Amino acid sequence: MSEEREKKRPLLERFMRFLNVLAILVLLGAYAGGSISPERFWPLAFVAMAYPIIMATFLLFTLYWIFKRKWFAFLNIALLLIRSDLVFGTIGLSSANSDSSGIKVMTYNVRLFDKFNWNSDSNSKDRIISFLMKEETDILCIQEYYDVDEKVRIELSENGNQNIHLRNYFAQRENKNDFGIATISRFPMVQKGAIVLENSRSALAIFTDLKIGEDTVRVYNFHLQSIHLGNDGYEILDGLIETQHVGEVSDSKLIGGRLKGGFKKRAIQAEEIAEHIATCTYPIIVCGDFNDVPSSYTYQTIADGLNDSFSKSGKGFGFTYVRVPFFRIDNILYSDDFSSSNHKTFDESTDSDHFAVSTNLNLKD
């Protein structure tokens, strides 16, 4: 009887069911990719990275089945809601108000303040600094910080952010220039430290204990392993985004190989940072350039037990990487000691290849 019913189904409907089943398998692969280290099985990291596209595909299938009044719609919705954290990590639907009270926190990869004039615009650095001055943050975490003779630090200190914790990408070398990551705050810094990430010279992680009123709050700031595609790699990637295919086998090997290496290195770095966070007894704020999306193993490892300001108080898509439209790789996380409001992604400026992200945090009583 069931075979007869199947034969009577329209060909299009059977084809859509087949495609939907394939989409389910891919979705489950994305879920697994956030839980299984790329060190153990790296192909799942690629699937997890594509979660925003997978979710969009699922929503299209769901609309189709709703129109057809078929039970597949309920199955799709249930499978998405199993990991509702990923849904709300991709689309911000917060009803939180735009309360601007509390501690204003910002994270921003400034791409060396455009030192090498990638934008072919000599005013990029001045605009970035003017933007940071205008925003008047209480805690500012910068990745790819670059300063000569403390000129940037002096300018930013005019807002009252006198305290800085900086670590150089080449900390083991003598280097007169400040080139690394920096945590800048108007709050007193009572302790500074670094998490040594053994497998990379271009990844850094620091922690800074701030005295805020009667409380001590620990701020983590890090820049995890970059992909390092280079100009050729980004040209290939741009072509892939526009045309949906890669022209040469060597092109796919270039992108795939560098992504694979980055996934593996970030996995180890994330585990080291998560272990350090787990030992902290203070209220925690985590800022950084994860170089991985919320569905990734990297993000899931660090964010375990923490809250994401975008999920809690953000709206829209919140993508933070200029070169790839669906990448949200810059994040502010926090422990349950805080509540979040007024999450913002400053996507109107492309002076850096990242957008700045800010939120307001209030310590709970």
Distances in Å between the Cα of 114 and the Cα atoms of 28, 182, 219, 360 are 40, 16, 26, 27
How confident is the model at residue 287, as a pLDDT? Answer: 98
Burial class of residue 162, CB neighbours in 10 A (0-12, 13-18, 19+): middle
β-strand pairing of 103-109 with 215-223 = unpaired
DSSP tag of 150: T
Question: CB of 331 within 8 A of CB of 107?
Answer: yes
CATH topology of domain 103-363: Deoxyribonuclease I; Chain A (3.60.10)
pTM over 0.85: yes
Q: What is the pLDDT along the chain (365 residues), one digit of tens a residue?
A: 455 555 556 888 889 999 999 999 999 999 999 999 999 999 999 999 999 999 999 999 999 999 988 888 999 999 999 999 999 999 988 766 667 789 999 999 999 988 887 777 778 999 999 999 999 999 999 999 998 777 888 888 877 777 999 998 775 444 556 789 999 999 999 999 999 887 676 789 999 999 999 999 999 999 999 875 555 444 434 444 344 444 444 445 556 777 898 999 999 999 999 999 999 999 999 999 999 999 999 999 999 999 999 999 999 999 999 988 789 999 999 999 999 999 999 998 889 999 999 999 999 87
Query: What are the residue ranges spanned by the domains of the chain?
Result: 2-82, 103-363
